[in-house]
Structure 1
Amino acid sequence: MLDNLPRGTICIEDIEMGMSRHLRKVVTDADIEMFAQVSTDRNPVHLDDDYAQDTIFEGRIAHGMLTAGLISAVIGEQLPGHGTVYMGQTLKFLAPVRPGDMVYAEVKVTGIDHSKRRVTLDCHCAVDGKKVVIGEATVLAPSRKFD
């Protein structure tokens, strides 16, 4: 399940401090398997129930970068949206995400440099209200001047 939120572009000229966007998505077994295939990260903690049961997580978990990818989806689809160029991203992983978890990913504008078209975004993902990933992104926002 994925929120059906508006997608598109918010140009640098229209971005304001405190503006935020989010999405919600249930992480499925299929998502984890596809991410393993695409990334070639087939660590058994993500894919093998028996193996994962004997780890500190006591069960399978989603790849951290799969979860972080939901932040990228919010940035690339909503804020600023289409035409955005990633310049940097910090991430800190606080807790695991498990198959079946509903992940809430949100980005919020904390800095704007209009002259360079740069936007700084506070980013986080949460499950059941508990933050599982936090970080900060710097992006180059699209501009109407370059349409």
Structure 2
Amino acid sequence: MVSVVLVAAIPTLEALAVAVVLTDGSAGRTPPGLVAVSSDGFDALLVAVCDVLAAAADTEESGGARRSVDGAQSSIPVRATGEVMNEQRVFEAIETGEEYETDGRTVTDADMRLFAGATGATDPIHVDREYADAHPLVDDVVAQGTLLLAIADGFVVDAIAGDAALSMNYGHDEVRYLDSVSPGETVHGEVVVTETEHRDEEWGIVRATAELVTTDGKTVLVDEHRLLVATAAHSEV
């Protein structure tokens, strides 16, 4: 029997955030930090929550990442919230050595619990504060490593792929989790294009290093990332 589970309500971003988890009722146990509820009225509740979160996102201000090449900063935002970019870059226009620094993003309890709801990553170190308080390596619950990687992915999209005529995520060559991030900490992305090469007539490969850095200068994640970007011959597809 499948039961509906809701993450306990958490006030963040002046909103009420909840996440939905489907669990096997035969397991007889709700994951730490989660409470089982009836499915009555579930659809209406989910719609209401989505509306609240969308409204919160609409009010968040962001200047977007900015591009520099060899230390020269561009005045053109790569991608800012709510903007439609006019500049559409093809593979040939992307240069090795381009550097980007994104705006900050604060990791919240809601982020972690929504991610747990979506992925089942409910290890107690992510959702159980009593467990985390007794843990020898951390002082608070910490964000899932793959959640931080997803945030880094978003920063790479903002920096490089956001204004590309046509692009696709091609994967990760190497990811290292160097330190933990707890709710309330703010991270930003530092992205450098390290290599570009033609894959064929239609696509080029852009290699970039993306680092997540906290406001106090702590590097918490390093991602060696690959993107496929359309060449000039393929950009109109």
Pairing partner for 1:112 from 180, 196, 200: 196
- How far is the alpha carbon of 1:143 from its aligned partner? 3.3
Report what 1:40 is aligned to.
120
- How far is the alpha carbon of 1:64 from its aligned partner? 1.0
CA contact (8 A) 1:3 1:25 kept: no
CA contact (8 A) 2:176 2:223 kept: yes
Structure 2 vs 1, CA of residues 139 and 42 (structure 1 numbering), >3 Å: closer, same or farther? same
State the identity %: 27
RMSD: 1.9
Pairing partner for 1:60 from 141, 144, 168: 141
- How far is the alpha carbon of 1:145 from its aligned partner? 2.5
Q: Relative contact order, CA 8 A, sep 6+: which one is greater?
A: 1
- How far is the alpha carbon of 1:69 from its aligned partner? 1.1
SS of the counterpart of 1:32? helix
Gaps of 5+ in 1: none
Q: What's the TM-score once normalised by structure 2's chain length? A: 0.57
Where do residues 60-139 of structure 1 align in structure 2 (5 Å cutoff)? 60-81=141-162, 83-89=166-172, 90-116=174-200, 117-127=204-214, 128-139=216-227
CA contact (8 A) 1:28 1:99 kept: yes
CA contact (8 A) 1:75 1:84 kept: no
Report what 1:50 is aligned to.
130
SS of the counterpart of 2:220? strand
State the number of aligned residues: 147
Larger radius of gyration, structure 1 or 2? 2
Shifted more, 45-54 versus 1-10: the winner is: 1-10
Matching residue's letter, 2:175: L
CA contact (8 A) 2:107 2:183 kept: yes
Structure 1 ranges of 4+ moved more than 4 A = none
Matching residue's letter, 2:224: E
How many Å separate the matches in 1 of 2:213 and 2:101?
11
How many Å separate the matches in 2 of 1:62 and 1:2?
23
SS of the counterpart of 1:61? coil
Gaps of 5+ in 2: 1-59, 65-77, 80-84
How many Å separate the matches in 2 of 1:102 and 1:36?
20
Report what 1:28 is aligned to.
108
Q: What's the TM-score once normalised by structure 1's chain length? A: 0.89
